[in-house]
Chain A
């Protein structure tokens, strides 16, 4: 099956700075890559996703980039705010095991005011 690696495991930034979280995947057939945000004590929630026919997608302060050749994708958050503090999970699907999402281990992002 798919293997998703996520880095870094923890990330601290100053309010207003940018944050970048990177993920790699192993199955070249994977074609769907969502990102989830989980605040403390809450459920994971989808914040942005990208499909393999697109190289970049933006939604206000959040962007995701995908490099299919290198099999990696990244989440970019600009102008970070304290409320961006949470655990972020990347995931991949669409490969040999259809319907399964393979999650990275998560990144704890802390934004200091």
Chain B
């Protein structure tokens, strides 16, 4: 079946612009996660959605970052007023029960 998909695959933006990153989870998966991975680094947790529960936003690095999940499916991660340090790969993952996570291919964000 179809895996997790993300769009765009690459995004180049200018400092100060807003960007939106999209994640389409595997159908039926109730849990959705966003991570950030800087070059050569580990997986930095950003936010976690589980069903209709309030999201766990404890990993968002600043109030410039926000995320939504509409209808329990597609999610959008928004970064406002982008900074150069926001340049990274943004990975989305989904899970059927909040354990095993299946990752998307990521969005490579470059802020000039």
CB of A43 within 8 A of CB of B48, answer no
- Check: B21 CB closer than 8 A to any chain A CB: no
Contacts of B34 in A (CB 8 A): none
Which residues of chain A from 5 to 53 have a CB within 8 Å of any chain B CB?
Answer: 32, 34, 42-46, 49
Q: Which residues of B sit under 8 angstroms from A93, Cβ to Cβ?
A: 98-99
| Cβ-defined contact, B100 with A49, below 8 A | yes
| Residues in chain B near residue A94, CB distance under 8 A | 99
User: Which residue of chain A lies nearest to B50 when distances are taken between CB atoms in the complex?
Assistant: A99
Assess A105 versus B42: contact at CB under 8 Å? Given A32-B99, A94-B99, A98-B98: yes
In chain B, what residue has the closest Cβ to A101? B101
B25 at the interface (CB under 8 A from A): no
* Contact pick for B48, options A42, A89, A99, A104, CB 8 Å: A99
Known: A100-B45, A103-B43, A106-B42. Is A44-B100 also a contact (CB below 8 A)? no
Please name the residue on chain A nearest to B51 by beta carbon.
A99
Interface residues on chain A, size class:
20 to 34
Cα distance A94–B95 in the bound complex, in angstroms: 14
A26 to B84, CA, bound (A): 34
CB-based contact B103/A34 at 8 Å = no
Asked if B31 is at the interface (CB within 8 A of a chain A CB), the reply is yes
Nearest B residue (CB) for A104? B42
Q: Which chain A residues border B104 with CB–CB below 8 Å?
A: 43
Look across to chain B and name the residue whose beta carbon is closest to the beta carbon of A6: B42
Which of B31, B43, B56, B105 contacts A89, CB < 8 Å? B43
Residues of A within 8 A of B (CB): 32, 34, 42-46, 49, 89, 93-94, 97-106
- Interface CB pairs A-B, < 8 A, 13: A34-B100, A34-B101, A89-B43, A94-B99, A99-B95, A100-B45, A100-B48, A102-B45, A103-B42, A103-B45, A104-B42, A105-B42, A106-B42
